[in-house]
Amino acid sequence: MEYTGSQYIGEYVDGRMEGKAEYILPTETKYVGEMKDGMFHGQGTLYFPSGSRYDAVWEKGLVVKVSLNSPIWTHLEKSLRAATTVEMASITQPRG
């Protein structure tokens, strides 16, 4: 899932991002959590430049469970829109 202009801090297994890691998107949104097979997978948190955060459980790059107890998100539709944007980035395959 390496997105052009992103930064990955973590381990690789068989050339893919795997395990606990930090992934910083070009928008300066940062994911801190578990990775598997090059995708967000497991417990993870997105930290946005605005100071907001989004706690979720991910499966193969997609959100499967959202923490509605996050004090920052006050409208579910905002968090789902943000998650969809990140999900699309997480499943974008590298070119070349």
Q: What is the mean pLDDT of residues 51-66?
A: 89
| pLDDT tens-digit map of 20-51 | 999 999 889 999 999 999 999 999 999 988 88
pTM, full prediction: 0.69
User: CB count, 10 Å around CB of 77?
Assistant: 8
pLDDT band at 65 (very low <50, low <70, confident <90, very high): confident
Residue, of 67 and 17, whose pLDDT is higher: 17
Residue, of 42 and 71, whose pLDDT is higher: 42
Cα dist from 75 to 43, 50, 64, 65, 88, whole Å: 21, 16, 18, 16, 21
pLDDT band at 83 (very low <50, low <70, confident <90, very high): low
Domain-wise residue ranges, the chain: 7-67
